[in-house]
Amino acid sequence: MPAPEGQTAHFGDGYTSLQTALVVVNIVTYALATVALALRIYTSAFINKRTDIGDFFLVASWGVGAGSIACTFIAIRFGFGKHLWNVEATEIMGYYNKLVAMAVTYFWTPSLTKLSVLTLIHNVYRAMWGRICTWVIGIAILVYTVIFTVLTTGPCNPLTGSIECLNNVGAAHAALNILSDVIVVILPIPLVHQLHLPLRQKITVAVLMTLGSFCVVASIGRIAFIADIHGNPDITYVEARVGVWSAVELNVGILGASLARLKPFVQRYFPSLSTSVGGVPRYGKSSGYEDAKPRPERDAYLLHSIQRSGVHTPPAPEDKNAISVQSDIYVEHSRAGAGGGVEEWGYAR
């Protein structure tokens, strides 16, 4: 591509500001995601004493994300992040080759993250319709991810096909990616609505359950740059701008999905920070949900230190026919459950 009027081609120069942004954003966001994921795995393995398939999905997403970063850094060597007129013709084929790998790893990283979030929602839902919804959404995500992967490595491969075809695949994937993010955010709303909690705690629970989909903000920001790709011949530059937002989206997704399962960690090491969240909610049968874990056996304790005005425990009467009045207080609790929270409740009679 010839340099536009007023511009001069500069081959072999150092990093551009956009390439520097690509490196910094990828490293910083991936490091944060790595720390959060490590804490999640520690929480599952050593605090909850068990891991689940959601952990597997998130570790897989993290691994594919590492591949995406590696492809990005290699693509920078072939002009990714430079204006096309500053890229030598011999570098273009290498760039196209890495572009396919970047696209495929980008497809799979958010999909695996969403599957991890859906696993959490599925485990909390007791109603059959809720579980069916998580299965349907998860299968749909897998299907469109496989389809886009086949298209990118086959007919839309820029090495053998048209770069415009790959751009169309990217736009279609961006739209479905945002749609699936929104659905995953909406899915827990009926569940949270049934919780016997104050509004503030309901909001907190909803946020925790959908943190992995908060990358939808980055997805929306990214799609604005995707619109600039179509018809723009300066592909190495405009696609790099999309790449910055892609890095934010992928790693923030992993970060959010990891933070959603750290409540037991916070309760153990930072108990004062967990008071605003409260216990794991309890669902009544009338709502269509059941407890995610069977309740423990109830124990009764005689609390001698409790005094309430007008209510006391009288001594045992000598007359067997006498009537005595006493107050019984039952306290019931369970330790950290499958969802990572602590369930506590009590009542007096």
- How do residues 158-168 score in pLDDT, each as one tens digit? 888 788 899 89
The pair of three-digit structure tokens given for residue 64, joined into one six-digit string? 């594919």
Q: How confident is the model at residue 6, as a pLDDT?
A: 60
Q: Quick one: average pLDDT of 244-267?
A: 91
- In the chain, which residue ranges form alpha helices assigned H by DSSP? 17-42, 53-77, 89-124, 128-153, 163-186, 189-193, 199-210, 216-229, 235-259, 263-269
Q: Quick one: average pLDDT of 47-75?
A: 96
- How do residues 326-337 score in pLDDT, each as one tens digit? 444 444 444 444
How many percent of the chain have pLDDT more than 70? 70
Domain edges within the chain = 17-273
> By three-state DSSP, how is residue 77 classified?
helix
Q: Quick one: average pLDDT of 293-318?
A: 46
Which CATH class name applies to 17-273? mainly alpha
- How do residues 92-128 score in pLDDT, each as one tens digit? 888 998 999 999 999 999 999 999 999 988 988 888 9
Q: How confident is the model at residue 236, as a pLDDT?
A: 92
- d(C-alpha 72, C-alpha 170), whole Å: 16
Question: What are the C-alpha distances in Å from 190 to residues 128, 214, 286?
Answer: 13, 19, 13
- Res 340 pLDDT > 60: no
DSSP 120-133: HHHHH--SHHHHHH
Q: How confident is the model at residue 93, as a pLDDT?
A: 87
Q: How confident is the model at residue 56, as a pLDDT?
A: 97
> By three-state DSSP, how is residue 48 classified?
coil
Percentages helix, strand, coil for the chain (3-state, rounded to 5) are 60, 5, 35
- The CA-based dihedral angle spanning residues 206, 208, 212, 218, taken in that order and rounded to the nearest 10 degrees: 70
- d(C-alpha 181, C-alpha 115), whole Å: 11
Tell me which of 3-7, 180-184, 195-199 is least confident.
Answer: 3-7
- Res 87 pLDDT > 80: yes
85-118 in b/e form (b: 16+ CB < 10 A) is: bbbeeebbebbbbbbbbbbbbbbbbbbbbbbbbb
